[in-house]
A and B are shown apart, each in its own frame.
Chain A
Amino acid sequence: EAQVTQNPRYLITVTGKKLTVTCSQNMNHEYMSWYRQDPGLGLRQIYYSMNVEVTDKGDVPEGYKVSRKEKRNFPLILESPSPNQTSLYFCASSPDVGTGQDTEAFFGQGTRLTVV
C-alpha cells in the first residue's frame, strides 16, 4: 500500500530536549516536505527536499532541521524544542513531474507534539 508513515503519532516532551520525528514514504517520490498545522493558520511549510541531499527552507524553518540521506526518509529534528513548537506536524511526499503534469501531495497521519 502506498503511504507516508510518520512516527511517533503523539509526543510530549520538555523544553530543550532534542527530538526527531521520522517520516518514510514507499512511493519512490523525489519531493518531500514538512508542514505544521496550527488553528486558524492552515498548514505552513517548514522545510522541503527535492531529492537526496537537497533540502531548503519553507515558510517557517526557525527552530527546525531536516536531512535527506535516503530517498524514502525525511526526518524532522528539533534540536532545542520550545513551547511555541507545540503543533500538529505533517510530512508529505509527491513525485517530481514536469510542468503541466498530474501531481498531488500524499500526507502522513500527523504527529501531535506538545512541548512543556
Chain B
Amino acid sequence: AQSVTQPDIHITVSEGASLELRCNYSYGATPYLFWYVQSPGQGLQLLLKYFSGDTLVQGIKGFEAEFKRSQSSFNLRKPSVHWSDAAEYFCAVGAGYNFNKFYFGSGTKLNVKP
C-alpha cells in the first residue's frame, strides 16, 4: 500500500541556516512526488514536483528536493531559511489512475528563529 512518512513533526531553525525536511514513501512503481506548503489559514501551495528525469528538482522560493530511489526518499532542502518560510510542509505521492490520487504525509511544522 502507498504511504508517505515525514518523521519530523516540528523543526526549528535559525533564520539564515540551512534546512532539510525528510520524506520517505512506499509505492510499488515509479512515484510522482510532490512537496506542498501550507501557511497558517491558507490552502496548500505546490513547491515542487518530480515525475522523471533529473533527480534533483528545483522549486519556488529557493527550495529544492532530491529523489533517491534506493532510499525511497524525497527530502526537501533550502540553503538559507527566511522568516517567511515558517509554515507546515507536506510531502505527497501521486498514485492511482493517472496518478491523481494523492497520499500525504502527516506534515512537518517549521519554526524560524530570528
By a CB distance below 8 angstroms, the chain B residues around A40 are: 9, 106
Is A75 an interface position by the 8 A CB rule?
no
How many residues from A make CB contacts under 8 Å with B?
A: 30
How many residues from B make CB contacts under 8 Å with A?
A: 28
List the interface of chain A (C-beta within 8 A of B).
Answer: 4, 31, 33, 35, 40-45, 48, 50, 58, 90, 92, 94, 96-105, 107-110
A105 to B102, CA, bound (A): 8
Known A100-B51, A102-B51: A109·B43 in contact at CB below 8 Å: yes
Q: Which of B43, B52, B97, B105 has the most CB of A within 10 A?
A: B43
A-B contact pairs, 7 of them (CB 8 A): A43-B90, A90-B43, A94-B100, A103-B32, A103-B98, A107-B45, A110-B43
List the interface of chain B (C-beta within 8 A of A).
Answer: 4, 6, 9, 32, 34, 36, 42-46, 49, 51-52, 90, 92, 94, 97-107
Of B90, B98, B102, which is within 8 A of A45 by CB?
Answer: B102
- In the bound complex, do residue A90 and residue B101 qualify as a contact, i.e. CB atoms below 8 Å apart? no
Q: Which are the 10 A-B pairs with shortest beta-carbon distances?
A: A42-B104, A43-B104, A42-B106, A107-B44, A107-B43, A31-B100, A109-B43, A104-B46, A42-B105, A42-B107
